[in-house]
Structure formats: structure tokens, C-alpha cells
């Protein structure tokens, strides 16, 4: 059997996990930096003023139901000044619903829905686990490849 093909077959998991883990870690670090920069944002309550369907619900190729997403306009007040912003990709809200948001005190037009650092840390840890798993899988693939090569040498010497 072609040794290169064998090595590629044996290392497929590692070739998937290592780059995936790196991408998860990079995304998690970027998300973490953004959330750290949002830590001074101030909590306030906003009221939903408008709701538009963004994406209808559908059944994906696997047969799972994907919920509809909505674009929501919200109104909130900071120091007596009224603001209105749009948020997309949300589950269904009704006009008049209350929503907790966080705004930048130096620019109240900048808002976010969360300041949690837990999600980016979980993403980073998941990426690290995938990366380490990929390295272990790669090392095991190299061991299997060497074992197979040694076995082929033994067979060829036995003739």
C-alpha cells in the first residue's frame, strides 16, 4: 500500500482537530478581548419598539428544525436622551417586551446584550482541547505508521 496514502488516512483526525482547535482559540481570544473592552458598559433596560422577521424557520438538511430569527428595534434612555438601535438574529420578541442591554457610557449608541466572560473562556478551552487532541492523534498516527513500516520490513526480510 502506498505509504503516503496510509499516513494521510491515519492522520485525518489530527489534520482536522489541530486547525479547528487553532481557529476556536483565535475566535475565543478575539471574543474575550471584545468582552473585556465591554466590561465598563452600563446595564439598562430597553423596550422593543419594532420586530421584523429576518429568517423564517426551516428544516435543515439533517432534518432538524431551525428557529426563525428576528431583527428587533429597541428604545432606551441614557441621561435623559432617547436612543434607538437595531439588534439582529434574535428569537421572537413582541413590541413592548423589556430587554436588558449594556451601553458604552462614552458612546451610548454602542450596545451589547452580554458582558459575560464565561462564553469566550469556554470557546478557548474547547479550542485548546481540540488542539491537544489533534496533537495526540497525530502522534498516534505517526506511531501506527512507523509500526506498519517496520512490519513491512519484517515481511520483506522474511522472504
Same domain, 147 and 123: yes
Same domain, 110 and 137: no
What is the pLDDT at residue 125? 97
Question: What's the Cα-to-Cα distance from 82 to each of 38, 57, 79, 108, rounded to whole Å?
Answer: 21, 33, 8, 10
Same domain, 28 and 72: no
Query: What is the mean pLDDT, run by run of 10 residues, along the chain of 159 residues?
Result: 71 91 96 89 94 90 90 94 91 90 93 88 96 93 84 76
Q: Is position 123 within any domain?
A: yes
Same domain, 23 and 81: no
As given in the structure block, the three cell numbers for residue 98 are: 423589556
What is the spatial distance between Cα 152 and Cα 1, in angstroms, rounded to a whole number? 10
Tally the domains of the chain.
2
Same domain, 58 and 102: yes
As given in the structure block, the three cell numbers for residue 13 are: 483526525
Q: Is position 67 within any domain?
A: yes
Same domain, 110 and 142: no
Name the helix (H) or strand (E) containing 7.
Answer: helix 3-10
How far apart are the two ends of the chain, measured CA to CA in Å? 18
Same domain, 69 and 98: yes
Q: Is position 65 within any domain?
A: yes
pTM score: 0.63
Residue reference for cell 466572560 = 117
Q: Is position 9 within any domain?
A: yes
Q: Is position 103 within any domain?
A: yes
What is the pLDDT at residue 124? 96
Q: Is position 158 within any domain?
A: no
Domain that holds residue 122: 1-39+115-153
What is the pLDDT at residue 123? 95
Q: Is position 159 within any domain?
A: no
Amino acid at each position: 500500500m502506498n505509504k503516503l496514502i496510509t499516513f494521510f488516512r491515519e492522520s485525518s483526525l489530527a489534520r482536522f482537530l489541530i486547525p479547528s482547535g487553532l481557529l476556536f482559540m483565535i475566535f475565543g481570544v478575539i471574543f474575550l478581548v471584545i468582552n473585556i473592552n465591554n466590561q465598563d458598559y452600563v446595564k439598562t433596560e430597553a423596550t422593543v419598539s419594532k420586530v421584523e422577521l429576518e429568517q423564517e424557520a426551516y428544516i435543515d438538511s439533517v432534518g432538524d428544525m431551525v428557529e426563525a430569527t428576528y431583527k428587533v428595534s429597541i428604545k432606551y434612555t441614557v441621561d435623559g436622551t432617547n436612543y434607538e438601535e437595531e439588534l439582529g438574529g434574535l428569537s421572537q420578541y413582541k413590541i413592548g417586551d423589556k430587554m436588558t442591554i449594556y451601553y458604552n457610557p462614552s458612546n451610548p449608541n454602542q450596545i451589547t446584550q452580554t458582558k459575560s466572560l464565561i462564553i469566550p473562556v469556554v470557546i478557548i478551552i474547547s479550542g485548546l482541547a481540540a488542539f491537544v487532541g489533534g496533537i495526540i492523534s497525530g502522534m498516534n498516527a505517526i506511531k501506527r505508521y512507523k509500526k506498519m513500516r517496520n512490519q513491512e520490513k519484517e515481511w520483506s526480510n522474511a522472504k
